[in-house]
Amino acid sequence: MKRIRIPRRTFLRGTLAGGIGVSIGLPLLEPMLNANGTALAQDGTLPRRFGVFFFGNGRGVEVAKWRPTGTGAGWTPSPLLAPLTELKDYISVVTGMNARLDESPQGHHRGSAAILSGYEFVTQPANNAPYRSTFQKPSVDQLVAAAVGSATPFKSLELATSSRVIKGEGTTIQYISHNGPDSPNPPEVEPGAVFDRLFAAGGGMTTQPTTPAVTDRLRELRGSVLDTVLVDLDAMHKRVGASDRVRLEQHTESIRAIERRLTTMPTAPAVQCDNPTRPGAIAGTSGKEPLAERLDAFGDLLTLAMSCDLTRSFTIQWSGSAGGPVFWQVGATRAHHDLSHDGAGAQDVIEKITIFTMEELAKMLVKFRDTPDGAGNLLDSLALMATSDTSDGEAHSVNDYPIVIAGKAGGALKHPGVYYHSNGEHTNKVLLTLLRGVGVQIAEIGEGNNTETEGATALEA
């Protein structure tokens, strides 16, 4: 019996109640797979996804409470990692690695740049103005986006549950996702706004009710407008200096991404990707950020985004580098960063914060696990790194770095997951494993003594 082959890259337009057009991809349907169900009939490989879950200020001073017991697949979660027990088969934990950089210790700047990009950050001129540093290289989510991002409507997605970030020291610790120096990808905090971005109507030129014929013509004109913008960018590119050329090149890429989304839309509505429900507004006060509620909504959105192949790379900033959410949920009354320096007496609250963080992470991972995807679930194709800006936030240490990995990365990562304690290897090895695991061709990461060419083989299948 001949199976109907549906091209994977089919983005469809459906409508929500109220007649708002949405553009959504098909979920990975069986007819898209090859006869064995292990690869796309057309492309040959199932998509793999990459995510970062980032929490600030480290895991706490008492490393014994973080480190699992046992080794290999027979490991037992520690008190701080206990919330992940249910998912243990999909979790690997790494300890003992160092996120070394050559730049003098810069506390949170160093850890963030090391674990999120593998490279030094850059301290920028300040005279006597406030300090400023930036990423030298793209963050790892953008390496993934560069490799696979043009295959999806959105190259990546940046989300944040907390707004209490450090804004006065440059982009390095204000943002998680970077395209390079002075080029952050700011996150979205409101789930509703994320939904609107992912599932917006054709946008542009369709804000007034019109006939389908006019709508089509307006969409074509929208493409012509974008072409004009591209020529304007090209002309400006010839006038400006080197660093501005980079800005304009990135601007150009963004316009091309809009054009791609535009041209892959067919003109007739067809089957929908579930019935996406717009998340409602989430109430919270300035002193009580609704971190768990936001992450819950993000979990649903990411489930949808991955299922419908809207993006394959995402970052979630649960709390910022040196960030200051007040974790009222566990009874904290001080901003997280301040609390992390309050000495031994504050560590019980710090540990509760870490446990709470792991609990909410676990809930999101359970959603991914329970969402069918191809022959398996969303965790099967995902490599997610959960990590921080330091190991011990009080000492600003970047040694013995806290790294939790979730997912199978399409079979590239060991399953069941393992606990690996390293004797001081560089965290860049983990970055290589994860990047290669999701299909990024990368020979090495890091510079000078911190260059790595081999991954963390203990984690690799």
Partner 1 sequence: MTSKRIAILASAAWLIACSGDIERPRGARNGAPGSTPWGVNGPGSFGPNGPGSGPNGAVPPGGSAMNPGAGAPGAPGAVKQPGATLRRLTLKQYQNSVRDLLGVEADVSKLSPLGPLNGLHAIAASALAMPEKDIEVFEGLADKLGAQVFSDTAARTKLVGCDAAQSACAEGFVASFGRRVFRRPLTDDERTRYLALLRTATQMTGDAWLALRVITSALLQSPSFLYREELGAPDPADPARRILTPFELASRLSFFVWNTTPDPVLLDAAEAGMLATDDGLRTQAERLLASARAADAIDELFTDYLQLDALDDLVKLPEVYPDATPTLGLAMKTETLRTLRTVFFERKTDFRNVFTNTTTFVDAELAELYGVRAPAGTGFSEVTLPASGERAGLLTQASFLATHAHPGRTSPTRRGKFIRESMMCQSIPAPPPDVNTALPEMTASRTLREKLEAHRADPACAGCHTLMDPIGLALERFDGIGKFRQTDNGAQIDASGELDGTRFSDARGLGMALSQNANVTGCFTRTLLRYARGALEDPSETPLIDALSGEFAAAQYRMSDLMLKISTQSAFRSMGALP
Question: What distance in Å separates the CA atoms of residue 18 and residue 85, rounded to the nearest whole number?
Answer: 43
One residue of 258, 265, 366, 442 binding partner 1 per CB under 8 A: 258
Phi, psi values for residue 387, rounded to 5°:
-155, -175
Under rule CB under 8 A, residue 400 binds partner 1: no
Q: Applying CB under 8 A, which part among 36-44, 127-135, 347-355, 357-365 lies near partner 1?
A: 127-135
The size of the interface with partner 1 (CB under 8 A), counted in residues, is 93
Q: Name the minimum Å distance from CB 114 to partner 1.
A: 15
Q: Name the minimum Å distance from CB 323 to partner 1.
A: 10
Q: Which is nearer to partner 1, 44 or 241 (CB)?
A: 241
Q: Applying CB under 8 A, which part among 29-37, 38-46, 68-76, 228-236 lies near partner 1?
A: 228-236
Under rule CB under 8 A, residue 240 binds partner 1: yes
Q: Applying CB under 8 A, which part among 37-45, 89-97, 160-168, 404-412 lies near partner 1?
A: 160-168
Under rule CB under 8 A, residue 352 binds partner 1: no
Under rule CB under 8 A, residue 444 binds partner 1: no
Q: Name the minimum Å distance from CB 393 to partner 1.
A: 9
- Pairing relationship of beta strands 91-95 and 403-406 according to DSSP bridges: antiparallel
One residue of 39, 200, 292, 366 binding partner 1 per CB under 8 A: 200
Length of the chain: 461
Under rule CB under 8 A, residue 348 binds partner 1: no
One residue of 30, 89, 102, 232 binding partner 1 per CB under 8 A: 232
One residue of 81, 322, 349, 384 binding partner 1 per CB under 8 A: 322
Q: Name the minimum Å distance from CB 263 to partner 1.
A: 15
Q: Name the minimum Å distance from CB 254 to partner 1.
A: 4
Q: Applying CB under 8 A, which part among 9-17, 79-87, 245-253, 275-283 lies near partner 1?
A: 245-253
Q: Which of residues 326-345 bind partner 1 (CB under 8 A)?
A: 326, 333-335, 337-338, 341-345
Under rule CB under 8 A, residue 244 binds partner 1: yes
Under rule CB under 8 A, residue 263 binds partner 1: no
130 exposure class (CB count in 10 Å sphere: 0-12, 13-18, 19+): exposed
Under rule CB under 8 A, residue 275 binds partner 1: no
Under rule CB under 8 A, residue 253 binds partner 1: yes
Q: Pick from 408, 357, 389: which is nearest to 84 by CA?
A: 357
Q: Applying CB under 8 A, which part among 33-41, 70-78, 234-242, 297-305 lies near partner 1?
A: 234-242
Under rule CB under 8 A, residue 102 binds partner 1: no
Under rule CB under 8 A, residue 104 binds partner 1: yes
Under rule CB under 8 A, residue 197 binds partner 1: yes
Q: Which of residues 12-51 bind partner 1 (CB under 8 A)?
A: none
